[in-house]
Amino acid sequence: MTTSAPMPPVRVRHWALSRRTANAGTALVLAVAVLGGFVAVAQLRGTARAHATLAGDSPEDLTRILASLNTGADGLRDEISNLKLQLLSLQTSTQRDASAQQAAADRLRSLEVLAGTVAVFGPGIEARVDDPRQTVTYDLMISAIEELRDAGAEALSIDGLRLGSASWLSSVAGQIVLDGSTLTRPYLVDAIGDPATLASGLSIPGGTVDSLRALAGVTVTIGRQARLDLPALTHPPTFNVARPVGSSP
């Protein structure tokens, strides 16, 4: 009689582990099935109880219940609509306030540029007026400034001195004076704006440039600049009576 060799221990342990795993998996499947059945039964019982309750109500009660549900649904829809309208109103009001604030800020910035109280930069032209014989008068300089402003100049300076809304030019001892500061030759007139438009406005036939060039020894050179930097007024205007709203007296 022959006997078979004993099974290696490793195979025995692996078989036993697989068997235990299979048993555990089976138990898990059974537990899930039982739980699912319990939930299904509970739902069926709940539904059955609800149906039984409603079946016991009279048609008048059912009508009243349905009307109450419809009323509640209508109330919720109305509340949702009101909330949407409130949200839209708030968004519109916020946008309107933001637009008004931005418009006010832009307006303030434009007035500051016009008044000369802030430094600015941008493209423009530079007109160089050579006057070796000191024949250029301040009124011709005023005419040149007016022509540049008519041509759309947003900011102006002469010899590095900014012109503001309250700036003035005069003549003292044959010298041109701007806001109390004496200008030196050659005069450099800088204007920020569209270079082509400013150059055309300053060079109109019979205009200020022609009048300047008609003077003995005076030459005028106009150059377009990609960027000009103009400082703020050295002495910004002060007000003795008028004050901004909200300031202290």
Residue 81 lies in a domain: no
Q: Give dist(CA 70, CA 15) in Å, integer.
A: 65
Residue 128 domain-assigned (yes or no): yes
DSSP-assigned letters across all residues of 208-235: HHHHHHTSTT-EEEEEEEEEEEEPPPSS
Compute CA distances 109 → 19, 77, 104, 243, whole Å.
85, 48, 9, 18
The predicted-structure confidence for 168-210, as pLDDT tens digits, reads as follows 999 998 899 999 999 999 999 999 999 999 999 999 999 999 9
Q: Is the residue at 26 inside a domain?
A: no
DSSP single-letter state for residue 111: H
> Tokens at residue 56, please?
């016991």
Domain of residue 136 covers 117-230
Q: Is 237 within the bounds of a domain?
A: no
CA distance 183 to 158: 8
Residue 211 lies in a domain: yes
The verdict on residue 15 lying in a domain is no
Is position 63 within any domain? no
Question: Does some domain include residue 101?
Answer: no
**Residue 181 sits in a domain of what CATH number?**
3.30.70.1880
Q: What is the count of structural domains for the chain?
A: 1
Q: How confident is the model at residue 108 (pLDDT cuts 50, 70, 90)?
A: confident
Q: What is the value of pTM for the model shown?
A: 0.60
Peptide bond between residue 186 and the one before it cis (omega within 30 degrees of 0): yes
**Tell me: the pLDDT tens digits for 62-102?**
666 666 666 767 777 777 788 888 888 888 887 888 887 88
Q: Which residues of 113-140 are buried (b: 16+ CB within 10 A; e: fewer)?
A: bebbebebebebbbbebebeeeebbbeb
Residue 143 CB burial class (10 angstroms; 0-12, 13-18, ≥19): middle
CA distance 238 to 222: 34
Question: What's the angle, vertex CA 24, arms to CA 23 and CA 25, rounded to 5?
Answer: 90
Mean local confidence (pLDDT), 10-22: 40
Q: What is the pLDDT of residues 208-217, one digit of tens each?
A: 999 999 999 9
